């Protein structure tokens, strides 16, 4: 086999410099195209804004202003609120479709999300702390509503609010705080808002109320304890809220839009987070507001473009991945960083095919078996200054536990088999050539500097694209977000954790799974990438498929485990399953980077450090503060 510094990965046929340049250009081309769909070909002005609440806390939002809107020609306006612990980009598709129809939209980050200040009371994931007038039990929705009302280009008689999940309660509370200024609200996928409808007199809501009750919405199933969300339409309390003695008919208007007493439920065939990328859900929301507060648009509710924005964002994300790999190769081929490549192929412990298969299966099954069972107890631990984001903590800690299991399996294998067949630091790739523990320290430090430079360049591009185009690299729930200096200050705990996690994963991948064995040819390349992906994301992918196939077929969530005071089903078990839509792409991205760098350098530390840095930055930029 050729030495690693000479070898060229099969997926990159051209020179590394050319590939880096082409992929760099494609990143900005695809992001520009995605941005054009986001801004309706420039007909919607999108501005990132910051504004204070009454206590001086700073809120972050994205303001969409359609062309032609002014103080002389004000337009209807809508506040768009994400769910608990989420962030505004995750519900951006609704902002796209509303703004291109002439609505001013203020999409806002709740307290603790994005660049909005965190305020005590855990308001990013709960309904706030009533003890503070600034919080108003709504995560900042009232402040956003008041901000919108301050604009002269907003039609004060036609203001609405939309909110996902906990955001549904946020906007309802904001509307109840300003009932004379709100024309219509539409929570969607909000079990907490269902409770509000059940316990409150409908007359208290002096504005139109719409609700999206997806057929497979697992969080509604938790909140109502129904086997099927369709049974909600037969609920006596909800029927009373709608002013009918008969089961509610989906899509039928109860009351009057003109008198602001309209009540309507839509039931698209999708899930809690599936609403975000579902044409029927988005079309229902658009149709509702076109009836409640019309703009006179000629666009039909099914005339939607958000999917094109998502598609070109995916292409930009793939181009970013190719750029990072090719840019890394350019650096490795340079005199400065050539040191990080191994001087030659190091011998690996020979392992039988059956043992290798067992090793691979264990690395796939352990994450699948522990995500819920270990995750639920870990989710009872409180956030701290070192680990300040709840869901980032839970997923990081579960990954650490999995890495601990991997390490245990590896140590057993080492003492039973590996040590007797030449297993040592060098054959496990931890020694870089001199046989000493962790090898050449200078080479490891150079590798760390290399990883920092590569990831710094990557996130410079991510931040630059956000500033230029006002969008992030995204598909559905997974996003590669810009990293602010403020959030970067909280990376330490997560980075140390993922350094441990990927260090163990890499050793296990190279030894037990045979990632380090390269016989040449395309089959060997695909085998290495495939095995690396199975170890990094295979278990989570199995869970994702089981969960969403089961949910779609039965309309009831699989893997709905009980814990503690909720033995019949804990909501965190559902959230853990939904988080696989983030875990799978995140670990897929990391595993491809990891494998490409190992194939190029035969230096286990290169991919290890880059993968740990990448996942840590994704974690700290996409989760809400909760400490």
121 to 113, 116, 438: CA distances (angstroms): 14, 15, 45
DSSP 154-184: EEEEEEEEEEETHHHHHHHHHHHHSTTT--E
Give the span between the Cα atoms of 439 and 445, in whole angstroms: 11
CB 429 within 8 A of CB 516: yes
Give the span between the Cα atoms of 433 and 430, in whole angstroms: 9
CB 227 within 8 A of CB 283: no
The residue behind tokens 């901000």 is: 147
Q: What length does the chain have?
A: 627
458-493: per-residue pLDDT in tens?
999 999 999 999 999 999 989 999 999 999 999 999
Q: Taking all residues of the chain, what is their mean pLDDT, rounded to a whole number?
A: 87
Nearest to 7 by CA among 551, 599, 618, 459: 599
Query: What contacts 401, CB < 8 A, 6 or more positions away?
Result: 370, 374, 378
Q: Mean of the pLDDT values across residues 292-308?
A: 95
Crossing angle, helix 580-601 and helix 571-578, to 10 degrees?
Answer: 40
CB 514 within 8 A of CB 351: yes
325 to 8, 59, 302, 498, 600: CA distances (angstroms): 12, 36, 39, 20, 10
pLDDT of 57 strictly over 70: yes
Name the H helices within 371-389: 375-378
CB 617 within 8 A of CB 459: yes
Give the span between the Cα atoms of 387 and 394, in whole angstroms: 10
SS3 107: strand
Give the span between the Cα atoms of 176 and 79, in whole angstroms: 14
Q: Which CATH number fits domain 41-304: 3.40.309.10, 3.40.50.920, 3.40.50.300, 3.40.50.1820?
A: 3.40.50.1820
Percent of the chain exceeding pLDDT 90 equals 61
Token reading at 329:
């190769």
The residue behind tokens 């020979």 is: 350
Choice among 121-135, 199-213, 341-355, 456-470 with the minimum mean pLDDT? 121-135
CB 146 within 8 A of CB 175: no
Nearest to 533 by CA among 557, 513, 552: 513
Give the span between the Cα atoms of 25 and 322, in whole angstroms: 11
Task: Return phi, psi of residue 263, to 5°.
Answer: -135, 130
Q: Tell me, what's the pLDDT at 318?
A: 97
Tell me the three-class secondary structure of 589-613, residue by residue: HHHHHHHHHHHHHCCHHHHHHHHHH
* pLDDT tier for residue 343 given thresholds of 50, 70 and 90: low
pLDDT of 1 strictly over 50: no
The residues facing 159 across adjacent strands are: 77
Q: Tell me, what's the pLDDT at 154?
A: 97
505-543: per-residue pLDDT in tens?
888 887 766 665 655 555 677 888 888 888 889 999 999
Query: What contacts 106, CB < 8 A, 6 or more positions away?
Result: 61, 62, 63, 64, 77, 78, 79, 80, 144, 147, 148
Name the H helices within 66-113: 92-99
pLDDT of 423 strictly over 80: no
Q: Mean of the pLDDT values across residues 148-156?
A: 96
pLDDT of 88 strictly over 90: yes
* pLDDT tier for residue 445 given thresholds of 50, 70 and 90: confident
* pLDDT tier for residue 130 given thresholds of 50, 70 and 90: very low
The distance of Cα 354 from the centroid of its chain, to the nearest Å, equals 37
Q: Mean of the pLDDT values across residues 253-277?
A: 95
Choice among 21-25, 301-305, 356-360 with the minimum mean pLDDT? 356-360
Query: What contacts 352, CB < 8 A, 6 or more positions away?
Result: none
* pLDDT tier for residue 433 given thresholds of 50, 70 and 90: low
**Position with higher pLDDT, 626 vs 323:** 323
For 60, the enclosing helix (H) or strand (E) is: strand 58-66
Give the span between the Cα atoms of 547 and 544, in whole angstroms: 5
The residue behind tokens 């859900």 is: 281
DSSP 487-537: HHTTHHHHHHHHHHHHHHHHHHHHHTS-TT---SSHHHHHHHHHHHHIIII
pLDDT of 65 strictly over 50: yes
Chain region(s) in the chain for CATH 3.40.50.1820: 41-304
583 to 345, 405, 543, 591: CA distances (angstroms): 33, 19, 11, 12
């Amino acid at each position: 086999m050729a030495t690693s510094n000479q070898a060229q990965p099969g997926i990159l046929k051209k020179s590394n410099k050319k590939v880096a340049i082409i992929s760099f250009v494609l990143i900005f081309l695809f992001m520009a195209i995605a941005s054009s769909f986001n801004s309706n070909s420039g007909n919607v002005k999108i501005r990132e804004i910051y504004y204070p609440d009454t206590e001086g806390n700073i809120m972050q939002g994205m303001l969409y202003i359609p062309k032609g809107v002014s103080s002389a020609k004000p337009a209807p306006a809508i506040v768009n609120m994400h769910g608990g612990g989420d962030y505004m980009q995750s519900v951006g598709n609704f902002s796209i479709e509303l703004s291109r129809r002439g609505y001013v939209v203020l999409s806002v980050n709740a307290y603790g999300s994005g660049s909005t200040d965190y305020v005590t009371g855990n308001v990013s994931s709960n309904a706030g702390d009533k003890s503070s007038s600034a919080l108003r039990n709504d995560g900042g929705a009232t402040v956003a509503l008041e901000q919108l009302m301050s604009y002269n280009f907003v039609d004060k008689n036609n203001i609405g609010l939309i909110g996902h999940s906990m955001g549904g309660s946020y906007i309802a509370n904001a509307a109840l705080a300003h009932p004379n200024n709100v024309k219509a609200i539409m929570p969607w996928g909000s079990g907490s808002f269902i409770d509000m409808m059940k316990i409150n007199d409908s007359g208290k809501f002096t504005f139109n109320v719409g609700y999206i009750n997806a057929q497979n919405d697992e969080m509604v199933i938790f909140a109502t304890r129904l086997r099927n969300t369709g049974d909600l339409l037969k609920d006596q309390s909800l029927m009373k809220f709608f002013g009918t003695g008969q089961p509610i008919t989906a899509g039928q208007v109860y009351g009057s839009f003109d008198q602001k007493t309209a009540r309507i439920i839509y039931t698209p065939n999708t899930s809690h987070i599936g609403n975000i990328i579902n044409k029927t859900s988005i079309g229902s929301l658009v149709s509702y507001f076109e009836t409640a507060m019309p703009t006179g648009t000629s666009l039909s509710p099914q005339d939607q473009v958000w999917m094109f924005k998502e598609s070109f964002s995916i292409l930009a994300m793939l181009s970013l991945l190719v750029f990072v790999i090719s840019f890394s190769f350019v650096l490795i081929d340079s005199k400065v960083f050539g040191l990080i490549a191994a001087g030659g192929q190091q011998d690996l412990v020979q392992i039988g095919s059956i043992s290798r298969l067992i090793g691979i299966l264990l690395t796939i099954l352990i994450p699948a078996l522990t995500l819920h069972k270990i995750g639920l107890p870990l989710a009872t631990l409180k956030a701290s200054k070192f680990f300040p984001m709840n869901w980032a903590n839970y997923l990081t800690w579960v990954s650490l536990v999995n890495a601990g299991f991997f390490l245990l399996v590896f140590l057993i294998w080492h003492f039973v088999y590996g040590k007797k067949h030449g297993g040592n630091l060098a054959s496990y790739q931890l020694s870089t050539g001199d046989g000493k523990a962790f090898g050449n320290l200078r080479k490891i430090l150079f590798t760390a500097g290399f990883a920092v430079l590569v990831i710094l360049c990557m996130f410079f591009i991510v931040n630059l694209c956000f500033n230029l185009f006002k969008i992030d690299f995204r598909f559905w729930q997974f996003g590669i977000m810009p990293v602010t200096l403020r959030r970067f200050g909280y990376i330490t705990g997560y980075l140390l954790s993922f350094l441990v996690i990927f260090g163990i994963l890499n050793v296990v991948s190279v030894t037990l799974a045979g990632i380090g064995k390269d016989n040449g040819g395309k089959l060997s390349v695909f085998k290495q990438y495939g095995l690396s992906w199975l170890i990094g994301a295979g278990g989570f992918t199995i869970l994702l498929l089981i969960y969403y196939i089961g949910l779609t077929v039965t309309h009831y969530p699989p893997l709905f485990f009980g814990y503690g005071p909720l033995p019949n089903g804990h909501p965190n078990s559902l959230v853990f399953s939904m988080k696989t839509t983030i875990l799978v792409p995140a670990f897929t991205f990391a595993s491809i980077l990891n494998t490409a760098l190992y194939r190029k350098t035969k230096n286990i530390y290169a991919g290890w450090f880059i993968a740990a840095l990448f996942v840590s930055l994704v974690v700290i930029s996409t989760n809400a503060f909760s400490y």
